[in-house]
Amino acid sequence: MVSILFETARIKGVEVKNRFVRSATVEGMGTADGRPAGALRELYYALAEGEVGLIVTAAALVDGEAYKKRRYVEGRAYDIAMDEDRYVEDWQEVVAGVHERGSKIAMQLVHMGRQENPKIRGSSPLAPSAVPLTNTDIVPREMTLTEIEETVERFAQSCRRVMEAGFDAVQLHGGHGYLISNFISPYANVRTDAYGGSTENRARFITHIVKRARELVGEDYPIMIKMNCDEFIDGGLTKDDAVDTAKIITKAGIDCIEVTGGTGADSPLRMVVPGINKEEKEAYFASYARALKDHVSVPIILVGGLRTPSVMARVLEEGVADLLSLSRPFIREPGLVKRWKRGDLEKAKCISCNKCALYMFKRPLRCYVEEPLEDT
């Protein structure tokens, strides 16, 4: 039954050796100026040696100038960036090392949007509309049309750099309350121009990114997206909105959708659900993945609480999704896929305590179960 987990999958022209994806995870292993630190390289190599089919990096900033001006503090978390050509060479060696170990690797790109830290940015965060965050008193600044066009270009040029660095695909971060998800959200986007109002208008930011990126990377390079399918807030994005958005963006050229939900500011515990201790709690975004599968033809990746091989095999057999994405389990067990392939089918050791999520923007990534953090 579980043999389906180890069958190959295809995202556009890229063959993935099994159905397992390491979902983009905040790693905090960049250098002070946004480069990949040695520990990050070793993390990806460990995942590749653990036979993860496709590794997706942490979200790299397409607008990281302010973040790279922070004072470096040993032991703190730092982002990676892809907003300058100089990063291409840094990543070529990393990508080559992953390929040598038999895995594929994609880079995720992000603009922090309305959830950007104004203390780091030095000004109000940018967003489609000036809708206050519910968890703070921060009010973002509505982007001008010129700023939207400039940000489209930032994403597109970063896609080009990802391709030039040798990555097998690029993934746009369209979830969790960051800028792309802000645009598709009827809650965060109340614009009255061509970028707001109808679902088609709210998806325009994505379609413009894809169109411009295609001019730079060509038609054959896979452009993926991790997309919110529900924000779990009043007036926010719903499943029906997400299905309509998916139709629009796949027609525009998106090649694969990873299904996610929730936002860091408004519904964080729907984004990274704690306490996954029963099989019925697993695959908590499955109904959203199925909804998309019924309406689009591109591969669908399911993330969210996957722990048990039999549950994951059933997801694939029932046609809910094409690939399976895990984050927290791989933090504790980078060799998890290899263990399952050997025949040890005990579920992942991750207990979903969410301590890794609690500290993810403060310290470099690690599991805290065996080694609890003393200085909290």
CA quadruple 301, 305, 311, 312: dihedral positive or negative? positive
**CA-closest candidate to residue 180, choices 151, 222, 211:** 151
Which tokens hold the place of 162? Answer: 């990802």
Proportion of the chain above pLDDT 90, given as a percent: 83
Q: Rounded CA gap, 103 and 210, in Å? A: 25
The CA dihedral of 37, 39, 43, 45, to the nearest 10 degrees, is 80
pLDDT tens figures, 82-116:
999 999 999 999 999 999 999 999 999 999 999 99
- Whether the pLDDT of residue 373 is over 90: the answer is no
pLDDT tens figures, 212-257:
999 999 999 999 999 999 999 999 999 999 999 999 999 999 999 9
What phi and psi values does residue 80 have, to the nearest 5 degrees? -100, 160
Cβ-contact 107, 170 below 8 angstroms: yes
Enumerate the β-bridge partners of residue 171: 108, 224
pLDDT tens figures, 50-89:
999 999 999 999 998 878 777 667 677 789 999 999 999 9
In the chain the domains, ranked by start, together with CATH numbers, are 2-358 (3.20.20.70)
Q: Rounded CA gap, 107 and 55, in Å? A: 8
User: Tell me, what amino acid is at 1?
Assistant: M
Residues 178, 221, 288, 359: which is the catalytic one? 178
The angle at the Cα of 224, spanning 229 to 283, to the nearest 5 degrees, equals 45
Residues 6+ apart with CB under 8 A from 135: 265, 266
Helix H or strand E segment including 241: helix 239-252
**Residue 178 bears catalytic tag:** yes
